[in-house]
Amino acid sequence: MKTVIRNTTVADRLLFLFLVTASVAGIFVSREAMPKGSDVIVEINGKTAYTFALDKDRTFPVPGPCGDTVIEIKDKKVRVSEAHCPNRLCEKQGWVVKGVIVCLPNRIVISVGGKAAHSPKDIDAITG
């Protein structure tokens, strides 16, 4: 170990310090700059029908085969407050901060979490 350290020049150490500080700073900066699950996306029949900001309270009906499904956004949370499908699973799921609410009979998918949470990881592999 000693010989390794003695083998390095001043420029080596400065370069290492610079790279490490820059990348650690970059990690924090990019984390701050990332949008945090800020959108509510409502998909009907697999197509995006509405996109709403999560931080604004609102209640809106979405029409479907079983009647209107009422979606409520409040305090940065989403729920289905009224559904007319047989099982009402979406209603029972209650408030959701991040993730998905699915109403199969009405073919409605409500997902929270912006783009980042909506799509899976992008990078499959990097090889040397």
Q: Does residue 2 belong to the site contacting other proteins (CB under 8 A)?
A: no
Q: Which residues pair with 47 in a beta bridge?
A: 44
Least Å distance, CB 2 to other proteins, is: 11
Q: Does residue 104 belong to the site contacting other proteins (CB under 8 A)?
A: no
Least Å distance, CB 63 to other proteins, is: 33
Dihedral sign for Cα atoms in the order 60, 63, 69, 71: negative
Q: What is the DSSP secondary structure assignment for residue 121, as one 8-state letter?
A: -
Within 8 A by CB and 6+ apart from 96, the residues are: 77, 78, 79, 110, 112
Q: Does residue 27 belong to the site contacting other proteins (CB under 8 A)?
A: yes
Q: Does residue 33 belong to the site contacting other proteins (CB under 8 A)?
A: yes
Least Å distance, CB 23 to other proteins, is: 4
